[in-house]
Amino acid sequence: MSRIDAKFAELKAAGKSAFVSYIMAGDPNMDASLEVMKGLPDAGVDIIELGVPFTDPMADGATIQLAGQRALAAQMTLKKTLAMAAEFRKGDDTTPIVLMGYYNPIYYHGVDQFVTDAKAAGIDGLIVVDLPPEEDDELCLPANAAGLNFIRLATPTTDDKRLPKVLQNTSGFIYYVAINGITGSGSANAQTVGAEVARIKQSTDIPVCIGFGIKTPQDAQEMAAVADGAVVGSAIVEKLGAGEPAADVLAFVRTLADGVHAA
């Protein structure tokens, strides 16, 4: 059982949904982002989604694009992101870490070497948004073989014909994109999203977490009530981008976590 599987089992036994929080590794620099990362579990975060900065983040809106630019300007790399995760693991061996990013840096690093290094750094799962199921041989299958969960995105346009392909080789959880568009745009509607999550859950036992368009504790509570978890990224990254102290960012994260866990 992976750390992700164990976390969902623990939360299910407690009657709670999971709170997944996103931060960009290296934003605004490695030390500052590591400080925030270390504080996330105590702020109520169940699973950490750690972004890998990339020059062409096609699925991300302006807030996370700018975070990536800040991280790249601070010389953040995939290798340093793994080092950051390894440093976090020295003090926390239970909180799951999911790397979120794009295939190019992984391909450049070398797939076999990346899988080995990610596992050694304490990574539990991967979200690679530009690798569809048709490309599972590239990374998904090697990652699964090494014990890394490969988390796939489902969207409002994932119909019943496409869904089985999306579920293929997926593990850990399914990331349901609540709105059409990029991160940080629009607001999710719990009634509409709830129906879509229920449809997906008819075809799988894998937990479904909702992301995109969740900005407030109330949003988080509403989304968590119709799914197995809620993911918040841009609203947190925005505060980091504004230069707010780590303590203030983590206090905001706590309000989101309380919302999710109250669902």
Catalytic residue among 60, 117, 136, 228: 60
The closest of 175, 239, 187, 177 to 213, measured between CA atoms, is 187
Per-residue burial over 68-84, b if 16 or more Cβ lie within 10 Å, else e, is: bebbbebebbbebbbbb
Nearest C-alpha neighbor of 47 from the set 223, 263, 251, 253: 253
Check if 49 is active-site. yes
Both tokens of 237, joined, read 């990254």
Taking a C-beta distance cutoff of 8 angstroms, is the pair 51, 22 a contact? Answer: yes
Note the pLDDT of residue 186. 56
Q: What is the pLDDT along the chain (263 residues), one digit of tens a residue?
A: 899 999 999 999 999 999 999 999 999 999 999 999 999 999 999 999 999 999 999 888 899 999 999 999 999 999 999 999 999 999 999 999 999 999 999 999 999 999 999 999 999 999 999 999 999 999 999 999 999 999 999 999 999 999 999 999 999 999 999 876 555 555 667 888 999 999 999 999 999 999 988 999 999 999 999 999 999 999 999 999 999 999 999 999 999 999 999 98
Q: Rounded to whole angstroms, how far apart are CA atoms 69 and 18? A: 29
Residue 222 and residue 190 in contact, taking contact as beta carbons nearer than 8 Å: yes
Which residues 6+ apart lie within 8 Å of 219 measured at CB?
187, 188, 213, 230, 259
Superfamily name with CATH number, domain 3-261: Aldolase class I (3.20.20.70)
CA atoms of 81 and 26, how far apart (whole Å): 7
Contact between residue 26 and residue 81 where contact means Cβ atoms under 8 Å apart: yes
Q: Helix and strand tally (H, E) in the chain?
A: 12, 9
pTM for the full predicted model:
0.96
Between the CA of residue 85 and those of 35, 53, 90, 222, what are the distances in Å? 12, 14, 9, 31
Residue-level pLDDT at 187: 63
Residue with tokens 């990346």: 114
What is residue 180's predicted lDDT score, i.e. its pLDDT?
Answer: 67
Catalytic residue among 49, 117, 228, 238: 49
CA distances to 28, 36, 108 from 218, in Å: 28, 23, 41
What does the domain layout of the chain look like in residue ranges? 3-261
Maximum Cα–Cα distance for the chain, whole Å?
Answer: 46
- CA distance linking residue 81 with residue 193, whole number of Å: 32
Find residue 174's DSSP bridge partners.
208
Question: Is residue 170 exposed (0-12), middle (13-18) or buried (19+ Cβ within 10 Å)?
Answer: buried
Bridge-partner residues for 48, per DSSP? 21, 97
pLDDT at 58: 86
